[in-house]
C-alpha cells in the first residue's frame, strides 16, 4: 500500500514546488518604480579563503528567476550528494583545495529553494534594490534557515561578487551592478481631492497662518496672566483682582482707548471745519 502512495506523494510535492515558483515572475514594483529582472539569468560567483595549508573556495550558483541548472562536469565528482536538490534557486558549494591532493567538496548548501522561496524586496537607497530568496534549514537538524540576499546596484553591467556570508544567520550576501536595478518610474496617481472651499491651496495656507498667529497671541497672553498671578500670589499673598499682573495698567486701558478715539475724532472734526471754513474779504 505504501509503495502505491509513494508516487502520489512525490507528484504532489512537485506540484506544490511548481506552484510556489510560478508565483514569482521576476517583476518587482516598489514606490512607483518597476523592475524587470527576467534578463539576468544564471550566474556563478566564487571567493577563496586562505586556510593554510589549504584553501577553501566558496562557489555560489544562483538564478533569481528560476531554478538553476547544475552541470556535473564543473564539479570534482558527479556524485548527486555534491549537488543541490532540484528546484534550487541558489546553491553554495565549499571546496577544499590542497597542493598535491585532490579537490574535496566539504559542504553543499541550498541557499534558496522553490519550496521556501518567499521573495522579499526593498530599496536600500535610490539606486539599489535588495532581493532576498529563502531556503530551508541547513543542515536539516538545524533551525537556521538559509537565504540569498542579492543587492542590485544601478549602473553598467558587471559580474556579481560575494560581499559576505553570515554563516551564523545563514545569509549569503551578493552585490551585483546591473542596469536592471535602474527603475522605470511610474506616473504618480492624479490627485482627485478638491481644493479647500473658497479658494485654492495658497489661500488655505494663508488662512492657516492667520489662525496660528491668533493662537500664539492668545497663548502668550494666557501665559502672561497665569505667570503674573502666580508671582503676585507667592510674593505678595495677593488674592482676587490683586492677582492680575500690572493691575493699574489694565484698569486704565479702557480710559486710554477712550481718550485715543476722542482725540482722533476731534482732530478729524477740526480738519473738516478748517477745509470748509469761509473768510470774508
Q: Does 33 share its domain with 147?
A: yes
Percent of the chain with pLDDT over 90: 40
| 151 in Cβ contact with 158 (< 8 Å) | no
CATH number, domain with residue 42: 2.70.130.10
* 80 lies in some domain: yes
At residue 9, the pLDDT reads 36
* 127 lies in some domain: yes
Q: Does 211 share its domain with 172?
A: no
Has residue 55 got a pLDDT over 80?
yes
H-run or E-run covering 18: helix 2-22
Q: Which grid cell sits at 113?
A: 529553494
Q: Does 130 share its domain with 165?
A: yes
Contacts of 239 (CB under 8 A, 6+ apart): 233
* 161 lies in some domain: yes
Q: Does 174 share its domain with 215?
A: no
* 11 lies in some domain: no
Q: Does 206 share its domain with 173?
A: no
pTM value? 0.57
What is the tens place of the pLDDT at every residue in 110-124?
Answer: 999 999 999 999 988
What is the tens place of the pLDDT at every residue in 162-190?
Answer: 999 998 899 999 999 999 998 776 555 55
| 245 in Cβ contact with 231 (< 8 Å) | yes
238 confidence band (pLDDT: 50, 70, 90): confident
Q: What's the gap between Cα 112 and its chain centre?
A: 24
As a whole number of angstroms, the distance between CA 11 and CA 121 comes to 31
Full domain range(s) for residue 238? 201-270
* 276 lies in some domain: no
Number of domain units in the chain: 2
Q: Does 100 share its domain with 33?
A: yes
DSSP designation for 241: G
* 56 lies in some domain: yes
Q: Does 206 share its domain with 181?
A: no
| Average model confidence (pLDDT) across the chain | 79
Domain C-terminal end among 132, 153, 185: 185
At residue 88, the pLDDT reads 95
Amino acid at each position: 500500500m505504501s509503495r502505491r502512495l509513494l508516487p502520489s506523494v512525490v507528484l504532489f510535492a512537485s506540484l506544490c514546488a511548481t506552484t510556489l515558483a510560478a508565483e514569482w515572475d521576476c517583476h518587482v514594483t516598489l514606490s512607483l518604480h518597476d523592475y524587470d529582472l527576467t534578463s539576468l539569468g544564471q550566474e556563478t560567483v566564487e571567493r577563496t579563503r586562505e586556510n593554510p595549508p589549504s584553501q577553501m573556495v566558496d562557489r555560489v550558483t544562483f538564478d533569481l528567476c528560476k531554478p538553476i541548472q547544475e552541470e556535473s562536469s564543473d564539479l570534482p565528482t558527479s556524485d548527486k550528494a555534491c549537488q543541490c536538490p532540484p528546484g534550487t534557486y541558489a546553491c553554495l558549494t565549499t571546496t577544499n583545495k590542497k597542493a598535491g591532493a585532490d579537490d574535496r567538496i566539504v559542504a553543499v548548501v541550498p541557499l534558496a529553494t522553490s519550496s521556501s522561496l518567499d521573495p522579499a524586496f526593498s530599496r536600500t537607497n535610490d539606486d539599489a534594490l535588495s532581493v532576498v530568496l529563502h531556503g530551508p534549514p541547513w543542515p536539516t537538524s538545524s533551525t537556521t534557515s538559509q537565504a540569498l540576499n542579492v543587492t542590485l546596484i544601478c549602473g553598467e553591467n558587471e559580474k556579481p561578487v560575494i560581499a559576505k556570508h553570515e554563516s551564523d544567520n545563514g545569509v549569503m550576501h551578493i552585490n551585483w551592478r546591473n542596469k536592471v536595478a535602474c527603475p522605470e518610474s511610474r506616473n504618480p496617481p492624479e490627485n482627485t481631492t478638491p481644493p479647500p472651499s473658497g479658494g485654492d491651496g495658497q489661500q488655505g495656507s494663508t488662512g492657516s497662518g492667520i489662525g496660528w498667529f491668533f493662537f500664539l497671541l492668545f497663548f502668550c497672553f494666557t501665559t502672561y496672566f497665569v505667570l503674573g498671578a502666580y508671582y503676585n500670589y507667592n510674593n505678595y499673598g495677593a488674592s482676587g483682582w490683586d492677582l492680575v499682573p500690572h493691575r493699574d495698567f489694565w484698569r486704565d486701558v479702557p480710559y486710554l482707548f477712550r481718550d485715543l478715539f476722542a482725540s482722533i475724532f476731534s482732530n478729524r472734526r477740526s480738519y473738516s471745519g478748517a477745509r470748509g471754513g469761509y473768510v470774508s474779504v
